[in-house]
Amino acid sequence: MLLHLALLFLLSIAGATSLGINYGQIGNNLPPPDKVLDMLIALRITKVRIYDTNPQVLSAFANSKIDLIVTIENQMLAELMNPQQALQWVTTRIKPYVPATQITEIAVGNEVFSENDMTLMETLVPAMLSIHAALTQLGLSFIKLSTPSSLAVLEESYPPSAGSFKPEITGIMTQFLEFLSRTKAPFWINAYPYFAYKDDPNGIPLEYVLCNPNPGMVDPFTRLHYDNMLYAQADAVYFAMAKMGFEGIEVRISETGWPSKGDPNENGATIQNAANYNRNLLRRQMANEGTPMRPNVRLEIYLFALFNENLKPGPTSERNYGLYQPDGTMAYNVGLSSFKRTSSISLTSSAPTKGGIMGYYRSLVYWMFVYLLTYQVFMRRRF
């Protein structure tokens, strides 16, 4: 109970308004949407992404003041290239719920550029154009359109200044970036430092991928210092876009997370690492951090995921990214696993914060959070 109060206090006072969460539903034991909404409100989470346009979720979230990103499944893109089909889709799937449900963005597909399916890729921009026209026709042009991509969209990502898109998608990527630039929509990226560590645990420092204190790395060309891989990955996307002539598009993290459990060959998939990673992201969001390349633009992040989803296919890790179990209990204690290391954790960074006074209050909130966690440990040991 104290942990929930600590999280609630931390989020409400610090104002982590840029922190969102992915609400996946690939499970047969998940709570109903109205119960999920209660959890989100209690935790002061104000930004949520779902992977469809589930009418039960859209109805439940009405009048909740939660900004919602909905998703169009990849297999629907070919059909929605047709302007009439797009108009019908928006008329039936979006318009009935707005404005009561605050749908702010539509993710048109997911990781389309990573499917190695050129036919699918070629449907993306035409579908976006048709949907955008339908939104405009229906008075919903305030809803932004983009598509989340995985890091596989990049030919190079290290160092960040070497960031570049795969040459075979240059034509489609140019059209996509032109659309984002014209509509002032963000470039969403699904970025998982965990995957890099899993594949090369001996070559990549764990502290660097967990966003723990570490020496970091310096980009040899820009001389920018990076103390974590997530920021380096985001900046690699900025550099890739700049090389194509697009420098005004904001990069946002549509998915990032760390599994709390994995198969024997899934290096680093532990409760301690998951707690460290997500806790560190929350701390950085409190500090309003941007990346070294965009220090004055707070990096918007959506954690993956709200729940462990028991029907997700693939290795064990795929079913263990959740902050919560389906019964509403925490999958792990965010912050508690790194309690013994708090004396070495600094709240300062290379990115500026919004003034010394706000920094003081964030530090105060942080140490109050640690105090509550310490008290919880003491009480558990006592009884």
From the list 73, 79, 111, 309, the catalytic residue is: 111
Which residue from 150, 162, 152 is spatially nearest to 253, judged by alpha carbons? 150
Report DSSP letters for 79-139, one per residue: HHTSHHHHHHHHHHHTGGGTTTS-EEEEEESSSGGGS--HHHHHHHHHHHHHHHHHHHHTT
Name every residue whose Cβ is closer than 8 Å to that of residue 299 and which is 6 or more positions away in sequence: 18, 231, 234, 251, 252, 253, 289, 290, 291
Catalytic hit among 73, 115, 207, 255: 255
Burial class (CB in 10 A: 0-12, 13-18, 19+), 108: buried
Q: Which of helix, strand or coil describes residue 52?
A: coil
Of residues 149, 104, 145, the one with CA closest to residue 128: 145
CA distance 70 to 48: 9
Token duo for residue 52: 């469809």
Distance CA 165, CA 244 (A): 9
Judge residue 113's burial from the number of C-beta atoms within 10 Å of its C-beta, 0-12 exposed, 13-18 middle, 19 or more buried: buried
Q: Rounded distance, CA 16 to CA 275, Å?
A: 18
Which amino acid makes up residue 160?
P
**Distance between CA atoms of 60 and 259, rounded to whole angstroms?**
28
Please indicate whether residue 111 is annotated as part of the active site. yes
For residues 131 and 126, give the distance between their C-alpha atoms in angstroms, rounded to a whole number: 9
**Angstrom distances, CA of residue 18 to CA of 30, 66, 192, 296:** 25, 12, 18, 14
CA distances to 68, 322, 382 from 34, rounded to whole Å, are 15, 18, 37
Q: What is the radius of gyration, based on Cα positions, of the chain?
A: 21
Catalytic site includes residue 79:
no
* Catalytic center residues: 111, 255
